[in-house]
A and B are shown apart, each in its own frame.
Chain A
Amino acid sequence: MAPDSMPIARALSLPRSERKPWLEVLHEWVITVDHKKIGVMYVLYGLLFMVAGGIEATLMRIQLAVPEARFVSPQVFNRLFTMHGTTMIFFVAMPILFGFANYLVPLMIGARDMAFPRLNAFSFWMTAFGGLLLYFSYVGGAGVYGAGSAPSFGWWAYAPLTSPAFARGHSTDFWTLALLVSGVGTVGFGVNTVATILCMRCPGMKLTKMPLLVWLNLVMGGMLFFTISPLTAAQLMLMIDRYLGGHFFDTQAGGKATLWMHFFWIFGHPEVYVLIIPAFAFLSEIVPVFSRKAIFGYPIMVAATVGIGFISFGVWAHHLYTIDMPSYGQAFFVGMSLAIAVPTGIKIFNWLATMWGGKIWLATPMLFCVGFLFQFLIAGLTGVILANAPFDWQLGNSYFVVAHFHYVIVGGILFALFGAFYYWFPKVTGRMMDETLGKWHFWLFVIGFHLTFDPMHIAGILGMPRRIWTYQPGHGWAIWNMISTFGVFVQATAILIFVFNLIHSYLQGAQAGDDPWDAWTLEWSTSSPPPPYNFAVIPEVKSRRPLWDLKHPEDPDWQYE
């Protein structure tokens, strides 16, 4: 069906505005409250920090390539893994995922903006400020000898390494402030997302008619209130310890190191789901469109997500199996951690069933989704293994765990994100991303990813602990580390191709049109890029796939839902 005959909410065709002076453009972006511009800023900001985090990872891998290397000093190495972890979680994964949600949720529910546009801008700028604060520690964290520069206690910041006795200077304070400030932004984003989804849906879009992406972001937004709060509380307690003579975590004065662990991980584990649920959301949009079928088992997918959301708050202590918990406590958390595999498995099966019997179009977005399914399957299974406490006594804090969570975050979340980039880029810019470069990007990244992270499982089984600056020869670790380091460079090449593709396609990509993938959700009914007001007329929907109904008036979805 030709796009111009689509009656739903076409954008008014306005003449393209002339080129404005760059200062004016910059000013426009800085003061904007438009959810699309804020979304794009979130994503670009995250990509920028991804470069920083990626360089940190590369330096670490070079240091670990051979035993007893002296490429960087242990002080520098410890800063590198602290900054890499903090950056990638708080200033790469979250901003990019929030950016996509920001951009897509109002478009997919037929709204003209988020519920609170100013709060939206405020949230973004707080997050941005947080990241800058963190990196400012490199120049502003100086203290007495050996204590300056960036924090070096790992991204969990276990007490008492953060106490004044062990963390002199101000690097800890920059880290704390960075997380506090960006946490405010994160909660603001969560409030905004939930309010938008609950209050701004277009006529006809009942909760049961929302696209899955919207549902999953609703769950994620709700989770943010409860994940970020304990982290913020812990940061405040840490500041009280450091500056007001408190003893929450100060073990030398009777404080409890394990208290911090519990606070951190009751944030930290749901946080994993805060990150993976939006990745699930991308899959739930891309897989149906590229299989040409409706999502299989929509109500179960929603229920599984909500289930994951709830269970994820009861699994945190599987990070603490080695603190010598009582056996019944360990058994409880084994049970909870295993239980979360059930709804996660249901999701995988439903995506497979969506593909089953379809006509799968292996364009780049779908390729990344297939990659996601493969890697996330392995990540989930190593997760099942690690849910068993005895396995953790051996492999907790080893490279096996490093491999496991990078499988989740890189093999899962990042693959889904790349799929999302290729899928929605035409909507955001009006131009297609280059398919050939996309395929190169995909295959190189798959190879690089597996070269980097597969050997880490073996290194972990051979007893290599994480967070070690160097290691002695004779453990059988060297060969696996060498392969990992090689893999990083393959990954870096793939990322360079991706960045080149982004820029090249933005400037010279083929015109996309409004609906290049022949998709079914509302964002494809408006122009690419959408006008500031999104829809000239607020659309009205009758089913989960309003554009399917339009394209197939003889067999619309609402007859079956």
Chain B
Amino acid sequence: MSAKTGLSHKRARGWARIEALTCTVITGAVSRLFASAPVGSQPTNIFAPVSTPADELYHLSLFDLSVCAGIFIVVFILLVYAVMKFRRRADDDGREPPQIYGSDQLELAWTVLPILIVVVLFLTSARVIHTVEDAREPANALRITVVGHRFWWEYRYVQYGFVTADELHVPVSTPRHPWPTFLTLLSADTDHGWWVPRLAGKTDVIPNRVNHTWIDPHRVGLYLGQCSQFCGTAHAMMLIRVYVQTRAQFEAWLKNQQTAAANDPGPAVTAGRRAFESTACINCHTVRGTVADGRFGPDLTHLMSRQTLGSGVIPNTPENLRRWIQGPPAIKPGVEMPPMNLSSRQLNELVAYLETLH
């Protein structure tokens, strides 16, 4: 058997060359297909990392993919060759082929070789696990507590004493001015998962458990993600938006968020505010500086500084805000906020008030 199957040394070298070549082609194809595609059309592509944890995984995955592609090609060629070469021919004489029961050398070869490959894969993986999971939190890190709710995200900027929702703002972190963000993940109800593919792998958000993850985005921009652990009816609409800003932009944003809500004394606004504070709104929502201090829903103190509503589901326009207040489940089925059933006038006043929360 071994004489038949064993490749001559020269041929084996040739195969190794073919394998190496195909690996290069595959790696090239992967990066061409995914990484070089316009990022705008693939905003959650894991092969377009912009932050150290995502970057580490990207390089590891290219290595793993190449190794596996190499194995695939070798075994696939053997399979195709066996089926083609040893197919029963039309002019078969009906005699049984020679019976071969096994070969210790071959068994040894295809036990030891895979073990070696596995050891290499294990070591490369272990290195990345250590780099990402055991990263030390520098003293200047931005610390944010993320609280997963059904079906939205609460972000607590613990160092700055304010809370916001659904849209995370973080500073860019460059090698010259590192300013990484370390996130503590908590859940208010069920399991969730915080996953922004271009920044870091996912980390589950589990009730009664404190989890951690970190990001250090190298490039300014908007990065998308969504809840990655099934959490109930509106799980698919629990989106994540991370705004990576320059230092100056971020500090300006921080400053604005730290202030209490603006108090516009205009008559339409006052009526809207009265509507807000005298209906069920305040049971769930906070507007800092007013009597509204509900904690069940997103903090609305700076609602107008956000680009989306309903955890990233629709753009934050006055018209959408109206639709949202009137009937959230029509836009986001399964959302916990009930339809408010307000009169048209009340609705106008309420929207006018909310429009002042910059």
Contacts and interface: CB of A to CB of B under 8 A. Distances in A.
A322 B64 contact: no
B333 A74 contact: yes
B111 A384 contact: no
Nearest to B120: A338
A78 interface: yes
A47 to B, nearest CB: 29
Contact of B100 (A296, A348, A352): A296
Interface string B326-338: 0000000110000
Interface size class of A (residues with CB under 8 A): 35 or more
Contacts of A166: 189-190, 232
Given A463-B44, A476-B41, A362 B204 contact: no
Given A330-B129, A357-B98, A463 B75 contact: no
A469 B235 contact: yes
Contacts of B230: 78, 153-154, 158, 161, 467
Contacts, number: 287
Contact of B201 (A291, A346, A377, A394): A394
Given A256-B208, A297-B107, A389 B125 contact: yes
Nearest to A297: B102
Contacts of B1: 296, 353, 356-357
A324 B202 contact: no
Interface stretch (B83-91, B155-163, B340-348): B83-91
A555 B79 CA distance: 29
Given A258-B206, A352-B82, A393-B57, A560 B101 contact: yes
Contacts of B53: 393
Nearest to B34: A461
A206 interface: no
A327 B130 contact: yes
B100 A462 contact: no
B204 A342 contact: no
Interface string A298-321: 111000000000000000000000
A406 B121 CA distance: 24
Interface stretch (B191-199, B251-259, B285-293, B297-305): B191-199
A296 B148 CA distance: 54
A158 to B, nearest CB: 6
Given A153-B230, A385-B64, A395 B100 contact: no
B101 A335 contact: no
Nearest to B81: A356
Given A297-B102, A322-B203, A391 B211 contact: no
A250 to B, nearest CB: 9
A394 B197 contact: yes
Contacts of A252: 207
B190 to A, nearest CB: 5
A390 B47 CA distance: 13
Q: Interface on chain B toward A: helix, strand, loop, or mixed SS?
A: mixed
Contacts of A385: 61, 64-65, 68
B319 interface: no
Interface in B218-242: 224-236, 239
Nearest to A383: B68
B208 to A, nearest CB: 4
A466 B200 CA distance: 18
Contacts of B122: 331, 334-335, 338
Interface in B124-139: 125-126, 128-130, 132-134
B83 to A, nearest CB: 6
A265 B333 CA distance: 31
Contacts of B229: 158, 322, 397
A297 B56 CA distance: 41
A2 to B, nearest CB: 15
Contacts of B246: none
A324 B208 contact: no
B203 A324 contact: yes
B295 interface: no
B110 A345 contact: yes
B115 interface: yes
Contacts of B213: 324
Contacts of A390: 56-57, 60-61, 125, 128-129, 132, 201
Interface in A116-164: 152-154, 158, 160-161
A6 B1 CA distance: 32
Contacts of B130: 327, 331
Given A161-B230, A324-B213, 6 more contacts: A322-B202, A330-B133, A353-B106, A356-B5, A458-B33, A465-B226
9 contacts: A160-B207, A251-B206, A323-B206, A350-B107, A355-B83, A391-B61, A393-B201, A395-B46, A468-B236
Give 3 nearest A-B pairs by CB, closest first: A393-B201, A463-B44, A468-B236
Interface of B: 1, 4-5, 33-34, 37, 41-47, 53-54, 56-57, 60-61, 64-65, 68, 71-72, 75-76, 78-79, 82-83, 86-89, 92, 96-103, 106-107, 110-111, 114-115, 118, 121-122, 125-126, 128-130, 132-134, 185, 189-191, 193, 195, 197, 200-204, 206-209, 211-213, 224-236, 239, 333-334
